[in-house]
Amino acid sequence: MILNNEDGLFKMELEDGTEADRPLYFCHIDGLDKRKFNARELAEGQIMSAPLRDVIPEGAVLIVGEAHYTYPVRAAGRPVPPYIQELTELRHHGHTVILMTRHPSQLDIFVRNLVSKHVHLERKAIGMKQYYWYKCVTSLDNPAGVSGVEAANWKPPKEAFKYYKSSSRHQKFKKKCLGRFGR
């Protein structure tokens, strides 16, 4: 995504018509190569301390890994924290926020309702599948069955693993295919 600017999110057009990298900030992405992406690291406390317009410059992209720490689910009846409330004004400041989490239901409902594109990756017996919607979807037991889904086979770009620490320990999964073919 960042490596090839797939969605066009990481470049911006300047007033003179030239293209430039957007300022990039990240939180909870272990071992990200800051030099490769000219990125600056933020702690979750910095993000939670003030509206984003006061934390990152205009036009910046913020990528938050383990986003459930920064935007956790609130108890019913609790007020929306100001730093979350201000997310409604992202476009006024040219900000783009990319959130990564294990499951969207772990994010604050206010944040989920602001999502404009949701990408879900699922490990299958044979490879991985990418599903996406133009809203946040929390019923992921059968992602292909959710209305408005677009799906494709997906393989992580091997080059990307050079630029961040995916895990301190990788688990190998045995792929089982149910059923028997032939005699």
Tens-place pLDDT, residues 110-165: 999 999 999 999 988 888 999 999 999 999 888 888 888 999 999 988 887 777 77
Running DSSP on this structure, what letter comes out for residue 22? Answer: P
What is the per-residue pLDDT for 19?
A: 92
What is the per-residue pLDDT for 166?
A: 64
The position carrying tokens 């393989």 is 155
3-state secondary structure 50-103: CCHHHCCCCCCEEEECCHHHHCECCCCCCCCCHHHHHHHHHHHHCCEEEECCCC
pLDDT surpasses 80 at 5: no
Assign residue 120 the CATH number of its domain: 3.40.50.300
Residue 115, CB-side half-sphere exposure with 13 Å CA sphere: 24
Q: Is residue 143 part of a domain?
A: yes
| Residues 121, 129 contacting (CB under 8 angstroms) | yes
Total-model pTM:
0.86
Look up residue 177 and give its two tokens.
């295919």
Name the amino acid, one letter, at 53.
Answer: R
Q: Is residue 31 part of a domain?
A: yes
Better pLDDT: 16 or 176: 16
First to last CA, the chain: 45
Grade residue 183 by pLDDT with cuts at 50, 70 and 90.
very low
Round to whole Å and give the CA distance between 22 and 178. Answer: 47
| Residues 26, 39 contacting (CB under 8 angstroms) | yes
Q: Is residue 170 part of a domain?
A: no
What is the per-residue pLDDT for 174?
A: 56
Round to whole Å and give the CA distance between 14 and 22. Answer: 10
Q: Is residue 63 part of a domain?
A: yes
Residues forming beta bridges with residue 99, ordered by sequence position? 64
Q: Is residue 176 part of a domain?
A: no
Q: Is residue 96 part of a domain?
A: yes
The number of domains in the chain is 1
pLDDT surpasses 90 at 8: no
Grade residue 1 by pLDDT with cuts at 50, 70 and 90.
low
pLDDT surpasses 70 at 180: no
What is the per-residue pLDDT for 175?
A: 52
CA distances from 183 to 179, 180 (A): 12, 8
Name the amino acid, one letter, at 33.
Answer: D
Q: Around Cβ 132, how many Cβ atoms within 10 Å?
A: 16
Summarised one tens digit per residue, pLDDT across range 84-112 is 999 999 999 999 999 999 999 999 999 99
Q: Is residue 183 part of a domain?
A: no
Summarised one tens digit per residue, pLDDT across range 33-71 is 899 889 999 999 999 999 999 999 999 999 999 999 999
Residue numbers of the domain that contains 87: 11-162
Q: Is residue 59 part of a domain?
A: yes
What is the per-residue pLDDT for 132?
A: 92
